[in-house]
Homo-oligomer: A and B are copies of this chain.
Amino acid sequence: MAEASNSDIGGEKHTFKIRRLEISDKRKGYMELLGQLTVTGSVTDEDFDRRFEEISSYGDDHVICVIEDEWTGKIAATGSVMIEKKFLRNCGKVGHIEDVVVDSEFRGKHLGKKVVEFLSDHSRSMGCYKVILDCGVEKKVFYEKCGLTNKGIQMSKYFD
Contact = CB atoms under 8 A, between A and B. Distances in A.
9 contacts: A40-B87, A86-B98, A120-B157, A123-B159, A130-B157, A133-B154, A147-B157, A148-B155, A152-B154
Interface residues of A, number: 63
Task: State the main secondary structure of chain A at its contact with B.
Answer: mixed
The 6 residue pairs across chains A and B that have the minimum distance between CB atoms: A41-B90, A148-B155, A132-B156, A143-B155, A152-B154, A148-B157
Interface string A23-52: 000000011001101111111000110110
A13 interface: no
Given A135-B153, A150-B153, A99 B85 contact: no
A158 B130 contact: yes
A152 B151 contact: no
A159 B84 contact: no
A27 to B, nearest CB: 14
B130 A40 contact: no
Contacts of A98: 84, 86, 94
A91 B156 CA distance: 19
B156 A40 contact: no
A89 to B, nearest CB: 6
A82 interface: yes
